[in-house]
Amino acid sequence: MSISKENKEFIDNLIEYYISESESYKQIAENFLPEVESIPDTAFGIITGCVYSGFLQAYQNQQQSPSLEDMDEFNQIIKKKAILIKKSISELTKINTEIKEKSD
């Protein structure tokens, strides 16, 4: 079994949403300073955790459980999108740094 087309679209839409809202998740990560060493890595973890939770919830709503193959496929989707997620977080860091430097 593999992830259905509808569930793949749902996952893609979730990833797009969290990328568009990455600034919020970066701010959440900042709340964990000094306990966390990397705000971008923490934000990435929060975002991927939210996507994973949404993936599991989609299966639960369909009264199903993801198979091992589904989990592997989900992980591959996240790996392929990881650069986009990290880029959205990194670009925000760069923009915020530039704004701060201009205001100083």
Residue boundaries of the structural domains of the chain: 5-103
Residue 97 is inside which H or E element, if any?
Answer: helix 68-103
pLDDT at site 92: 56
For the full predicted model, state whether its pTM sits above 0.75: yes
pLDDT at 80 over 90: yes
Per-residue pLDDT tens digits for 13-68: 999 999 999 999 999 999 999 999 999 999 999 999 999 999 999 999 999 999 99
Selection from 24, 12, 25 nearest residue 58 by Cα: 12
